[in-house]
Structure 1
Amino acid sequence: MSPSSQWRGRAIVAVVAAALAVGCSPPGSEVQAHGSDRARGSDGVVQQGLDRLVHDDKYPAALAATIGRDGRTRNYASGVADLKTGAKVPVDSQVRAGSNTKTFTATVVLQLVGEGKVDLDAPIERYLPNLVRGEGIDGRRITVRQLLQHTSGLPEYSDTIGDLTGKDRHTYVQPRTLLDTALARKALFAPGTSWSYSNTNYVLAGLLIEKITGRPLAEQITHRIIQRIGLRHTSFPGVGDERIREAHPQAYFAAKPGAPLENITKMDPSWGWAAGQVISTPSDLNRFFTALFNGKLLKPAQLTQMRTTVKVPDSFGLEPGARYGLGVTSIPLSCGGLVWGHGGDIPGYKTRPGVTDDGRAVTIAVTANQAPTKQGPADVNALLDSALCEK
């Protein structure tokens, strides 16, 4: 969900596949492949890449969904759903989507901007008075835009709230507790003077949504996005819900490369909330980012604002040329053009969706966010690039 190896999803990727209409794929438009299949051409690039992630990088399972220039949806999988039973991984199954949630949250905020209920360049103080205060922290100087863009200077909370892969992963945490934990720390920099990825920004964005609408964040994301564009296998888990309710591969965590993999599928994701709580599938993530950048969720003015980016510091660890907008990133492709999106890491799962302006889309998911091998994360990113370039 955030930039750390534990959950902080290095906002990597995912956005525009202009050819896919939201909702169900038309009859005959889907192709399914598993590790035992011998796909050719671009299909082979994806399947063989997933097989390498399992065999060489030791991820228990790897999944992918793609949309090519022909508009067809293809789903792939490799590995096992459960290391104990050896059960085959379900194709296009559910995973925790981590920081892809930030794009959902940013979309709702920008919808409220389009409705005239929120001003992007107003201070958060206008909507949440007397809430954002701390050492070097003043809500009267931090704008809504700076929250969504990670230029607020607000400190991170996720590395101070307990052992999220051990005993504390079953603990429910209220959003205000997350915010209070962050505000007890010192500001990173003056608002607007630098960039630093912080889940705290999106907790505040979630509180803003609830204040303006008078309704729960989960309901707003569900009604305004999930139901609106027919994401049938995407959900925002309810309070206390530790389960993944549909078919899914188990989630695993390794304390370091080469360490034993521990099953951590069951967990309370409340500490992610507006920054990382959504559950989805690879094909639903493609559908979401496609609809978003096709203008089905935002008015043109707000979509333009979302796509207006600032440079991501090289120290953050993304590929050269990475930039961050309002809840989305852009990264240059090796074959030219940009891949847009986000991405997410949450204990047990890593997701890397990516779409292009000419209609290609790829989402890759693996069932360990802390890579079993040192090379694993780079190989996930490389497969995203090669799959998009082949499509």
Structure 2
Amino acid sequence: MLAALVTVGALVFGMGGPAGELQRGLDGVVGIGAVAEVRSGGEVWRGSSGVAELGSSRKVPVNGRFRAGSISKTFVATVVLQLVGEGRLRLDDSVERWLPGVVPNGANITVRQLLNHTSGLFDYKNTLSMPPNPEFYTYQYRTWTAAEQIQRALAHPPVFDKPGTQFSYSNTNYLLAGEIIQNVTGRTYGEEIERRLIRPLGLGGTTMPGTSTYLRGPHLHGYVPKDGGLIDFTEMNPSLFGASGELISTTRDLNRFFAALLGGRLLPAPLLHEMKQPGVEGGTYGLGLSWHRTACGVEVYGNDGDALAYQAYSYATEDTRRQVTIAVTPNFRTNPDESVEAFVDQAICD
């Protein structure tokens, strides 16, 4: 259990003991800055390490916002499953049914296969330039449409021929899922996420920014490599990611969302069960939800996200009694994954 807690304003902090150990663990996470929230039963610890902005000594705010990348996929998948629960579409509907003429072989690809990455569709992200290619830096303020990104992907052949037989992670799948949400509801996926998830759950630090380039409120600055150094990429047009990764959030909000999801507040039990089924035998990715086993053998569910200048990770035990969310601004010298995994193990197992 975490140590006793004291409330300061709207925040809750652990005092001494295991809470001090969590801070030391967070200090060991590799990056420019990091922020985390750990929940154990009714107890909450929030902490940060590093700096919020290079060239300053300003601490990372414990309520700071960050780009959550592919954790967006869990939000999108939850909306799709809610629509399934309402009888407005089926997981085994074809892509052709909802997006006629858009995807070659769309009659043989299902909504389920989009969500669990077994469609075989080429990942549009692999058509984009990445640092240090000079073209990448032109993306910072450019607006992209889902149709444009989808067409870039479909210009390439599928990575395997028979949908549903293999797992191949593709951001294209979620661009298509976002378009299906709009065709079913008449509202954009961002509007549906706001209406169905963000407002009802009181996720005050969470937004679907669309084409807005800003991170409003307290936040971490994020960076990407250029010319042997780093440049500030905090402001950027998130339409580059669209439904596959545009979410902005906080550690508190992501813990609250996954507690509601895994606690059965957002989906009927049969659909939550579907969400936890791997797309291929032995896999660790279901319908917008992933899982892995910690060092102590406890399985945790959630997702992680890479938004270029930010990396985020959010996991909970199946009963939601233990949760951890952490966001890191990488330094691009050392991958933070290993140190984050150690912190997740510490938060879940100790």
Same fold, TM exceeding 0.5?
Answer: yes
Q: Confirm whether residue 61 of structure 1 aligns to residue 21 of structure 2.
A: no
- Structure 2: distance between partners of 1:28 and 1:265: 28
Using structure 2 for the length normalisation, give the TM-score.
Answer: 0.91
Q: Confirm whether residue 114 of structure 1 aligns to residue 95 of structure 2.
A: no
Give the one of 217, 222, 245 matched to 2:194: 222
Identity %: 42
- Structure 2: distance between partners of 1:336 and 1:199: 30
**Which portions of structure 1, spanning 4 or more consecutive aligned residues, are displaced by more than 4 angstroms?**
26-30
For 2:4, the equivalent position in structure 1 comes to none
Opposite residue 377 of structure 1, the aligned amino acid is D
- Structure 1: distance between partners of 2:311 and 2:71: 10
Using structure 1 for the length normalisation, give the TM-score.
Answer: 0.82
For 1:149, the equivalent position in structure 2 comes to 116
- Structure 1: distance between partners of 2:225 and 2:344: 23
CA contact (8 A) 2:262 2:272 kept: yes
**Which structure 1 residue ranges, 5 or more long, are not aligned?**
1-25, 313-320
- Structure 2: distance between partners of 1:173 and 1:124: 22
Opposite residue 119 of structure 2, the aligned amino acid is S
- Structure 1: distance between partners of 2:114 and 2:279: 13
CA contact (8 A) 1:30 1:74 kept: no
Q: Confirm whether residue 388 of structure 1 aligns to residue 335 of structure 2.
A: no
- Structure 2: distance between partners of 1:175 and 1:128: 13
- 1:322 to 1:380, Cα distance in 2 relative to 1, 3 A: farther
- Structure 1: distance between partners of 2:142 and 2:10: 42
Q: CA deviation digits over 1:97-124, x for unaligned, max 9? A: 0000000000000000000011101211
- Structure 1: distance between partners of 2:334 and 2:95: 42
- Structure 2: distance between partners of 1:373 and 1:277: 24
The 5 A counterparts of 1:181-220 are: 181-189=152-160, 190-220=162-192
CA contact (8 A) 2:166 2:280 kept: no
Opposite residue 107 of structure 1, the aligned amino acid is T
Kindly indicate whether structure 1 or structure 2 has the higher relative contact order, using CA contacts under 8 Å at least 6 residues apart: 1
CA contact (8 A) 2:38 2:46 kept: yes
CA contact (8 A) 2:113 2:279 kept: no
CA contact (8 A) 1:349 1:366 kept: yes
SS of the residue aligned with 1:227?
A: helix
Q: Confirm whether residue 238 of structure 1 aligns to residue 217 of structure 2.
A: no
- Structure 1: distance between partners of 2:68 and 2:103: 28
CA contact (8 A) 1:353 1:364 kept: yes
For 1:378, the equivalent position in structure 2 comes to 338
RMSD in angstroms over aligned alpha carbons? 2.1
The 5 A counterparts of 1:1-391 are: 30-32=11-13, 39-41=16-18, 43-53=19-29, 57=30, 59-69=31-41, 71-133=42-104, 138-163=105-130, 166-189=137-160, 190-239=162-211, 241-254=212-225, 259-310=228-279, 323-358=284-319, 359-368=321-330, 371-374=332-335, 376-390=336-350
CA contact (8 A) 2:210 2:246 kept: no
CA contact (8 A) 2:77 2:115 kept: yes
- Structure 2: distance between partners of 1:351 and 1:255: 22
Question: Would you say how many aligned residue pairs link Structure 1 and Structure 2?
Answer: 338
Opposite residue 175 of structure 2, the aligned amino acid is V
- Structure 2: distance between partners of 1:78 and 1:322: 34
